[in-house]
Amino acid sequence: MKGKKVLVTGGVGFIGSHLTRHLLNEGAKVLVVDNLFVGKKVFLPDGAFFEEIDIRSKKMKRVVEKFEPDVITHLAAINYIPYCNANPEETFEVNVMGTRNLLEVSRNIEFFFASSAAVYPPVKGLLTEDMYGPIDIYGKTKLVGEDIVKLSCKKAIIARFFNVYGPNDMNPHLIPEIIKQVKEGKREIKLGNLIPKRDYIHINDVCEAIITLLKFRKQGTYNIGTGIEYSVKEIVDIVSKIIGEEISILQDRKRMRKVEREGLLADITKIQNDIGWNPQVDIIDGLKKLLNGIIE
């Protein structure tokens, strides 16, 4: 990636800020585009350029023409499912029309699209890239986004992220919510749905997967996960062992989602075979890093 010019949308959000840092470390020149709806400029890594613009804006054409990127990595989206369900029109506008606008101003530029495991049907077992069947607004907008990318861009990489965790996640997903309550000193923690199992992947592994796909210029659709799933209780039990204290769960109905799938498990055979990528951070080490400061 050394010397490459990369435009990152959503680049001061959770995944985007980490990816920007990884790209800079690889020697890339990075321009971040973010409207700061969720992202925070404090997360902008040193050395990155920044434009505060909504991806739906006509100004994107000027930005792309001026920067002349070799690659666009499109991460900007509304992705917190409860918010998406409460605001379906806005979610569609950003996730679908925003993607369309970006594609219209980036013809013949290599394009990386951040999709999601939310495009999959609610089935048990390994999920392969040829499957689809979203059950919520977010997943539906991501699947439409995938279709638009395939129709509009010949040089496209589509990555379906599973449950990404790590520092700076600003949405109250399961792991950040557990970490937050434990760091507040609580040992009876309030959580929502307890049945679901998820494939949790550390942000560093996600960034390495993205950069490896970009280096190989491997067009296609890829799962980015670990191939291992954990229940809510298993995650809490791991945190409990790490801190050496008992943690109990109090189910809070206010936090429960009306529509929930039992499992999400990535089949990562394709990405392993095509580019030789494998996740490196196991769940215990990943959680230990997040719990730094309250464990010896």
CATH of 5-164+201-224, one of 2.40.70.10, 3.30.390.50, 3.40.50.720, 3.40.50.1000: 3.40.50.720
Tokens encoding 247:
């943690």
pLDDT of 46-104, one tens digit each? 999 999 999 999 999 999 999 999 999 999 999 998 899 999 999 999 999 999 999 99
DSSP symbols for 139-189: HHHHHHHHHHHHHH-SSEEEEEE-EEE-TT--S--HHHHHHHHHHTT-SEE
Tell me which amino acid residue 187 is: R
Distance CA(196)–CA(11), nearest Å, equals 29
Q: Look at residue 234 and tell me whether its pLDDT is greater than 80.
A: yes
Predicted local confidence at residue 91, as pLDDT:
98
Per-residue b or e along 273-284, where b marks 16 or more CB atoms closer than 10 Å to that residue's CB: eeeebebebebe
Distance CA(1)–CA(215), nearest Å, equals 7
Predicted local confidence at residue 181, as pLDDT:
95
Tell me which amino acid residue 15 is: I
pLDDT band at 296 (very low <50, low <70, confident <90, very high): very low
The domain segmentation of the chain, as residue ranges, is 5-164+201-224, 170-197+228-266+281-290
**Residue 293 or 45, more confident:** 45
Distance CA(253)–CA(66), nearest Å, equals 50
Per cent of the chain over pLDDT 90 is 88
Tell me which amino acid residue 185 is: G
pTM of the model: 0.95
> What superfamily would CATH give domain 170-197+228-266+281-290?
UDP-galactose 4-epimerase, domain 1 (3.90.25.10)
pLDDT of 242-276, one tens digit each? 999 999 999 887 777 666 788 999 999 999 999 99
